[in-house]
Amino acid sequence: MARIETPRPIRGTQDIFGDEQRRFARVLEAFDHVRRLFAFQRVDLPVFEDTQVFARSIGETTDVVSKEMYTFEDRGGDSLTLRPEFTAGVCRAYLTQGWQHYTPLKLVTSGPLFRYERPQKGRYRQFHQIDAEVIGAAEPAADVELLAFADQLLHELGIADGVTLQLNTLGDAETRDAWRTALVAHFERHRGELSEDSLVRLDKNPMRILDSKDPRDRPIADAAPDIDAHLTSEAGAFFEKVTKGLDAAGVKWTRNGRLVRGLDYYRHTAFEFVTDRLGAQGTVLAGGRYDGLIESLGGPATPGVGWAAGIERLAMLLEARQSEVPDIALIPVGEEAERKALGFAAGLRSCGVAVEMAYRGNLKKRLARANSAGAHYAIIVGEDELKSEMATVKCLATGQQGRVAFHQLDENIFALTDARWKMRGINQLPALKDFMSVAEPSGSDAG
Ligand code: ATP
Ligand code: MG
């Protein structure tokens, strides 16, 4: 018979499993927690959009639009693009759904994004971001709130140490024009040393060179004039409000006068949270103000500010192994015991107790398995237990063992554990201990 070949996974995609998946989930949990603290609403948006949504807003000369988009024609002949970032889609929805009524609108979203990049550690073709946006707020206070949100998230995840907030202003239109002229003059003097990509950027979008990763461009980019000499007084005042606000909110930052962002739509505030713990992929969270974006999508002049962070990169920074332990391992021996245990499991789970019942093998093996899974208690139901209508309960941490009547497992414990666990956190099992002390010690058979 011909051997059937298993299709390969697509280059740059991931199958996220085990500890990696738990780290990933931890980032999302923390994000959801912190966004509630800052009163941001969640939205969920389509994974693909009309190609124009991204082409018009992100900028034709950016790497994302010129080289990285997954663009295809669908069966109806429309040009669609798998979203390479969130902001443009959020703004499209804002305009087409009439969300203008709700401004200022504080939104978060998360999910997969697609960029045709060279895959490496921390860089994938399907990757995931968490994203936060404030649409319709022109005040620097919105920038400050978003940065405080990001900063608190990093603290919540325990990764704030070693991650630095680098802050810049890209100024207003007047500032940008003046800075651009100074940059062009600088880069023109080094035309001969620039990479081919940067020569193209020099003609079309010279600021982009500052963001180049090509080692030939770095020294020239690093020596480029920074924006300060060109800041208009309004742009300077705006930036000062942002930095004063950050100081007041206790958010640490450093100035990077050459920081630009990979997309064209940024104005005023631009920032990156950077670490040296991830090699070349050191930017974990990035964003800024995009006051011109909504107009580029055909909407009225509407200010906006936002950030996005790579979930994979944040997850890579998490130190501790993320565990997911069952409260109780239920170990039935024999068919009748299995049926009985199904009832116990249903009751326990419905009052919020995590129960694992899938261990195979003999009793000793299953206990060892329950132990290594980190379960707090094992409840054993075998022939003796069925006869006596008393389950054996073993505290896996202490080895302490006792018996609990079936009817207590069925009724009282559920009520008791439910109330207590809600108060004390679900991984505490005081109720079961209490019951064990009132239950008859093992050995004195009640049957
Ligand atoms: P980089 O400079 O690393 O290419 P970028 O400027 O293209 O990043 P943004 O578009 O600002 O990135 O996206 C914000 C964040 O999303 C990045 O800081 C990073 O954490 C993450 N990110 C971007 N591209 C990828 C990717 N291909 N794989 C994994 N994470 C990514
Ligand atoms: Mg990139």
- Ligand 1 pocket member 309 (CB < 6 A): yes
Q: Given a cut of 70, is residue 126 above it in pLDDT?
A: yes
Check residues 436 and 399 and name the one with the higher pLDDT. Answer: 399
Q: Kindly give the number of the ligand 1 atom that is closest to the alpha carbon of 122.
A: 29
**Highest mean pLDDT pick, 9-13, 394-398, 412-416:** 9-13
Pick the CATH number of 328-435 from 3.40.470.10, 3.40.50.1110, 1.10.357.10, 3.40.50.800: 3.40.50.800
Q: Given a cut of 50, is residue 67 above it in pLDDT?
A: yes
pLDDT confidence tier of residue 281, bands split at 50, 70 and 90: confident
pLDDT confidence tier of residue 411, bands split at 50, 70 and 90: low
**Distance from Cα 286 to the centre of ligand 1, integer Å:** 8
Substitution site in 13, 54, 58, 127 for ligand 1 pocket (most atoms within 8 Å of beta carbon): 127
User: What is the structure's pLDDT at 266?
Assistant: 82
DSSP at 136: S
Q: Given a cut of 50, is residue 400 above it in pLDDT?
A: yes
- Ligand 1 pocket member 54 (CB < 6 A): no
User: What is the structure's pLDDT at 230?
Assistant: 93
- Ligand 1 pocket member 176 (CB < 6 A): no
pLDDT confidence tier of residue 443, bands split at 50, 70 and 90: very low
User: C-alpha distances in angstroms, 319 versus 33, 160, 322?
Assistant: 20, 12, 9
User: What is the structure's pLDDT at 265?
Assistant: 76
Query: What's the sign of the alpha-carbon dihedral 172, 177, 180, 181?
Result: negative
Q: Kindly give the number of the ligand 1 atom that is closest to the alpha carbon of 313.
A: 20
DSSP at 120: B
pLDDT, tens only, 324-382: 888 889 999 999 999 999 988 988 887 778 899 876 788 899 999 999 888 888 999 99
Check residues 316 and 323 and name the one with the higher pLDDT. Answer: 316
User: What is the structure's pLDDT at 330?
Assistant: 93
Substitution site in 313, 314, 316 for ligand 1 pocket (most atoms within 8 Å of beta carbon): 313
Please tell me the pTM assigned to this model.
Answer: 0.87
User: What is the structure's pLDDT at 127?
Assistant: 98
Q: Given a cut of 70, is residue 420 above it in pLDDT?
A: no
**Distance from Cα 52 to the centre of ligand 2, integer Å:** 20
Instruction: Give me the mean pLDDT over the 26-31 stretch.
Output: 97
- Ligand 1 pocket member 310 (CB < 6 A): yes
DSSP codes joined into one string, 38-97: TTPEE----SEEEHHHHHHHH-TTSHIIIII-EEEE-TTS-EEEE-S-SHHHHHHHHHHT
Residue 304's contacts (CB-CB under 8 Å, 6 or more residues apart) are 87, 91, 133, 134, 135, 136, 137, 289, 290, 291, 293, 294
**Distance from Cα 354 to the centre of ligand 2, integer Å:** 41
Instruction: Give me the mean pLDDT over the 216-237 stretch.
Output: 93
161: how many CB neighbours lie within 10 A of its CB?
Answer: 9
Q: Given a cut of 70, is residue 430 above it in pLDDT?
A: no
H or E stretch covering 12: none
pLDDT confidence tier of residue 150, bands split at 50, 70 and 90: very high
**Distance from Cα 208 to the centre of ligand 2, integer Å:** 12
Domain range summary for the chain, segments of one domain joined by +: 18-172+232-316, 328-435
Check residues 398 and 273 and name the one with the higher pLDDT. Answer: 273
Domains 18-172+232-316 and 328-435 agree in fold: no
pLDDT, tens only, 89-100: 999 999 999 999
**From the centroid of its chain, how far is CA 435?**
41
User: What is the structure's pLDDT at 320?
Assistant: 67
**Distance from Cα 126 to the centre of ligand 1, integer Å:** 11
Residue 404's contacts (CB-CB under 8 Å, 6 or more residues apart) are 379, 390, 391, 393, 413, 432, 435, 436, 439
Helix axes 335-350, 412-424, angle to 10 degrees: 40
What's the mean pLDDT when you consider all of the chain?
88
CATH class held by domain 18-172+232-316 = alpha beta
User: What is the structure's pLDDT at 79?
Assistant: 97
User: What is the structure's pLDDT at 423?
Assistant: 41
Cα–Cα dist 124/131, whole Å: 18
- Ligand 1 pocket member 12 (CB < 6 A): no
Residue holding tokens 């899974």? 373
In this structure, of 15-19, 128-132, 215-219, 275-279, the range with the lowest mean pLDDT score is: 275-279
Check residues 10 and 259 and name the one with the higher pLDDT. Answer: 10
In this structure, of 32-36, 149-153, 371-375, the range with the lowest mean pLDDT score is: 371-375
- Ligand 1 pocket member 124 (CB < 6 A): yes
Q: Given a cut of 90, is residue 447 above it in pLDDT?
A: no
Residue 181 near residue 171 (C-beta atoms within 8 A): no
Instruction: Give me the mean pLDDT over the 124-149 stretch.
Output: 98
Q: Given a cut of 90, is residue 46 above it in pLDDT?
A: yes
Q: Given a cut of 70, is residue 273 above it in pLDDT?
A: yes
Cα–Cα dist 223/202, whole Å: 16
**Distance from Cα 110 to the centre of ligand 1, integer Å:** 14
